[in-house]
């Protein structure tokens, strides 16, 4: 709208479609022409994009969707923020990179774009709706020089070379029968196995240029922590300040901020967890009725089980893992609530599948 040129001096083309479903189709089509294409959406709008997301990921097409994560209408409509929408897309094959602050939103937009070109796995770049997307704060703006240093022109040429071109005919998007579909579907495995290391290498490259260091799973807290919270999104900023305050007072607590949620790297999570951990609480900003637990809870529990089996866990005895829900529809999440989770972990039998920030007088999921 402001006719601002990008780092190559080109003014990007902005196209408004009739719906988010149409926008996703237009993105898919533009990507197949070799364009660097992106879109911005949230909530039900993101859900309308799911069919195209499966295609974009299945065809190993580099792209970034920027998501201001918001509630999906359930018993009522809510425009406010949580992770209900993005968690509904985690099976599509898109990588999921979570930014916790406005500075990280700027930084991770670049890291996601650089990573998708290297990995050929499309990315959701996720920030909390309103909490982060509409926050007014100071940021250190990225210069064009930093952006150009992060984006390899050879990878852009390779992306464009994969475009559909009548002068170089190539079959894509065909129908496959049972004799080959399963085999072909597994063909993407090497790309997803490489993606976590690619993102970490990109973060390391970014740190050299800007001084801001990020990890796939960023640990904050006591080096000998026995109680650890694992979470992602803007609530992690509140948890980090609380952890620092508690550690200063002698508490053996810690926090892991999840940056790259998909593909989920067991190896990198184990590298972040302190060997002394005895109890872990995962905090999900979504609810999956009828499931055995929320997404992060299930993934962390499975990751610890796999790590113990494969001998890559930093501890001899697996820690107890409990899961909780917080902040649905941007419900307040305060330092007192973070401390409440750590206090719950002190108990011999901490509550599982708990809620934080509400009083549940029906199913009694609230912690004290």
- Final residue of a structural domain among 177, 210, 243: 210
pTM: 0.96
In this structure, are 223 and 162 located in the same domain? no
- Final residue of a structural domain among 192, 210, 228: 210
Residue 170 confidence (pLDDT): 87
- Final residue of a structural domain among 210, 235, 253: 210
Which one is predicted more confidently, 362 or 172?
362
In this structure, are 101 and 165 located in the same domain? yes
In this structure, are 32 and 137 located in the same domain? yes
In this structure, are 222 and 206 located in the same domain? no
In this structure, are 57 and 102 located in the same domain? yes
Helix (H) or strand (E) holding 43: helix 43-48
In this structure, are 26 and 151 located in the same domain? yes
Q: Residue 365: inside a domain, yes or no?
A: no
In this structure, are 178 and 31 located in the same domain? yes
The string of pLDDT tens digits covering residues 212-236 is 999 999 999 999 999 999 999 999 9
**How distant, in Å, are the alpha carbons of 32, 66, 163 from that of 25?**
11, 16, 16
- Per the structure, the complete domain to which residue 299 belongs is given by 217-356
Given a cut of 80, whether residue 1 has pLDDT beyond it is no
Number of domains making up the chain: 2
Residue 9 confidence (pLDDT): 92
Given a cut of 80, whether residue 104 has pLDDT beyond it is yes
In this structure, are 138 and 28 located in the same domain? yes
What's the pLDDT band for 293 if we cut at 50, 70, 90?
A: very high
In this structure, are 186 and 286 located in the same domain? no
The domain that holds 310 is classified in CATH as 3.40.50.920
The string of pLDDT tens digits covering residues 119-159 is 999 999 999 999 999 999 999 999 999 999 999 999 999 99
Structural contact between residues 14 and 27, judged by C-beta atoms closer than 8 angstroms? no
Which one is predicted more confidently, 3 or 36?
36
The string of pLDDT tens digits covering residues 149-171 is 999 999 999 999 999 999 999 88
The DSSP annotation for 236-299 comes to HHHHHHHHHHHHHTT--EEEEEESEEES--HHHHHHHS-TT--EEEEEESS--TTSSS-HHHHH
In this structure, are 62 and 173 located in the same domain? yes
Q: Residue 362: inside a domain, yes or no?
A: no
Residue 193 confidence (pLDDT): 99
Residue 162 confidence (pLDDT): 95
Percent residues over pLDDT 70 in the chain: 100
In this structure, are 183 and 278 located in the same domain? no
Distance CA 69, CA 134 (A): 12
Q: Residue 102: inside a domain, yes or no?
A: yes
Q: Residue 203: inside a domain, yes or no?
A: yes
Q: Which two structure tokens, joined as six digits, stand for 149?
A: 């240093």
* C-alpha angle 124-127-129 in degrees, rounded to nearest 5: 120
Q: Which two structure tokens, joined as six digits, stand for 209?
A: 């240029």
The domain that holds 183 is classified in CATH as 3.40.50.970
Q: Residue 170: inside a domain, yes or no?
A: yes
Q: Residue 12: inside a domain, yes or no?
A: no
Given a cut of 70, whether residue 98 has pLDDT beyond it is yes
């Amino acid at each position: 709208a402001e006719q601002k040129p990008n780092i190559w001096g080109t003014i990007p083309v902005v196209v408004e479609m009739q719906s988010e479903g149409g926008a996703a189709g237009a993105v898919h089509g533009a990507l197949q022409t070799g364009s660097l294409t992106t879109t911005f959406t949230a909530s039900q709008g993101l859900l309308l994009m799911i069919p195209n997301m499966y295609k974009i990921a299945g065809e190993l097409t580099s792209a970034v969707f920027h998501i201001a994560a918001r509630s999906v209408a359930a018993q009522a409509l809510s425009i406010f923020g949580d992770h209900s929408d993005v968690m509904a897309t985690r099976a599509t094959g898109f990588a999921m990179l979570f930014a916790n602050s406005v500075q990280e939103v700027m930084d991770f937009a670049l890291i996601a774009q650089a990573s998708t070109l290297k990995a050929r796995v499309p990315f959701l770049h996720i920030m909390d709706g309103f909490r982060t997307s509409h926050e007014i704060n100071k940021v250190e703006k990225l210069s064009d020089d930093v952006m150009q240093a992060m984006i390899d022109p050879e990878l852009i040429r390779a992306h464009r070379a994969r475009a559909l071109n009548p002068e170089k005919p190539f079959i894509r998007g065909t129908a496959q029968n049972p004799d080959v579909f399963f085999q072909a579907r597994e063909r993407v495995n090497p790309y997803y196995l490489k993606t976590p290391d690619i993102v970490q290498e990109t973060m390391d490259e970014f740190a050299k240029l800007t001084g801001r260091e990020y990890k796939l799973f960023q640990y904050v807290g006591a080096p000998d922590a026995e109680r650890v919270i694992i979470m992602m999104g803007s609530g992690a900023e509140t948890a980090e300040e609380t952890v620092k305050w508690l550690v200063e007072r002698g508490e053996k607590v810690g926090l892991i901020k999840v940056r790259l949620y998909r593909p989920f790297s067991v190896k990198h999570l184990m590298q972040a967890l302190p060997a002394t951990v005895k109890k872990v609480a995962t905090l999900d900003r979504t609810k999956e009725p009828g499931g055995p637990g929320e997404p992060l809870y299930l993934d962390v529990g499975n990751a610890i089980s796999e790590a113990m089996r494969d001998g890559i866990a930093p501890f001899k005895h697996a820690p107890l893992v409990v899961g909780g829900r917080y902040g649905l529809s941007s419900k307040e999440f305060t330092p007192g609530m973070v401390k409440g989770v750590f206090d719950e972990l002190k108990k011999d039998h901490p509550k599982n599948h708990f809620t934080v920030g509400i009083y549940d007088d029906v199913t009694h999921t609230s912690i004290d």
